[in-house]
Amino acid sequence: MRADPPPHVLEDDIGLRLAGPEDGWRERPDMDVAATRRTRASIVARTRYVEDLVVERGVDQYVVLGAGLDTFAQRRGPELAAERGLRVFEVDQPGPQAWKRQRLERLGFGVPEWLRLVPVDFEGDWWGRLAEAGFDPGRPAVVASTGVTMYLTREANAATFRLVAGLAPGSTLITTFLRPPEDVEPDQRPQLEAAVRGARAAGTPFLSFFRPAEILALAPASRASGRPGTFRRRSWTSGTSGGGRTAYDRPGERS
């Protein structure tokens, strides 16, 4: 059963198999179809936005920071790897990534040559691991960090932005962020506050909230890389869980 009627923004039949939830998961309160409508819209919209961009930009390196159960590699990877030599770098914490690897093996997808699983902790010194996994910082890449900034300290977020700012011309960063609950429209605040409580209860508390101007202000941090770019707010979602998304382009390439 699908929650929403077609046409679908995103077709992903693999994510559920990968997650392999327990029987009766649809009856869980946090899975209520009506109550999760905004969150669902947010997740499928951001995923579709990123995936379209990866295809349109024509890059051969796609870095998924905090990949979680992202299934782009399984859905689109075979075709894009054959067509343009795309490599997908899934960067995530060692524990969740080891679990995902196991699931991929069990479901028969495995980890093909063009999919690189890179276990790191964004709070530490992780950048070198990407190059060790075959990432070429001299070639353009699309880097996505969706649903991740809230779990990191401000320092780790700033460091990540700084590192990405040093990538080759033609590179793009797409990120999402959560606004502080007190800034969110009153009708959306209860949902965001519930998400904050849920994250804390799950042992993965939200550590960082950003106002749109603050995420854009991370751009000056990129100057430390010596290759400054510009952050532009590409679009703004006023709904969902009080988030927004932004794109960063190295100058001199596309706009």
Ligand X SMILES: C[S@@+](CC[C@H](N)C(=O)[O-])C[C@H]1O[C@@H](n2cnc3c(N)ncnc32)[C@H](O)[C@@H]1O
- 43 is written with which tokens? 């997740």
The minimum distance between CB 242 and ligand X, in angstroms, equals: 15
Query: CA 151 to CA 154: how far, in whole Å?
Result: 9
The minimum distance between CB 251 and ligand X, in angstroms, equals: 26
Alpha-carbon distances, residue 95 vs 102, 103, 117 (angstroms): 11, 13, 12
Candidates 109, 122, 127, 161; binder of ligand X (CB under 6 A) is 122
Q: Segment near ligand X (CB under 6 A), from 5-13, 90-98, 133-141, 219-227?
A: 90-98
Backbone angles phi, psi at 5, to 5 degrees: -75, 160
CB 146 within 8 A of CB 136: no
The kind and range of the H/E element at 74 are helix 72-75
Q: Segment near ligand X (CB under 6 A), from 92-100, 104-112, 180-188, 209-217?
A: 92-100
The minimum distance between CB 154 and ligand X, in angstroms, equals: 13
Q: In what order do the strands lie in the sheet with 142-145?
A: 115-119, 87-92, 61-65, 142-145, 172-178, 243-249, 230-235
Candidates 12, 15, 78, 96; binder of ligand X (CB under 6 A) is 96
Q: Segment near ligand X (CB under 6 A), from 72-80, 121-129, 214-222, 228-236?
A: 121-129
The minimum distance between CB 241 and ligand X, in angstroms, equals: 11
Q: Segment near ligand X (CB under 6 A), from 11-19, 105-113, 119-127, 187-195?
A: 119-127
Q: Interaction with ligand X in 34-53: which residues (CB under 6 A)?
A: 43
Candidates 54, 59, 67, 196; binder of ligand X (CB under 6 A) is 67
Give how far the C-alpha of residue 150 lies from the chain's centroid of Cα atoms, to the nearest Å.
Answer: 11
Candidates 18, 143, 148, 173; binder of ligand X (CB under 6 A) is 148
Q: Segment near ligand X (CB under 6 A), from 82-90, 130-138, 145-153, 189-197?
A: 145-153
Candidates 123, 183, 214, 253; binder of ligand X (CB under 6 A) is 123
Which is nearer to ligand X, 96 or 228 (by Cβ)?
96
Across the chain, which distance is largest between two alpha carbons, in Å?
Answer: 53
Binding site for ligand X (CB under 6 A): 43, 66-68, 70, 92-93, 96, 120-123, 146-148, 151-152
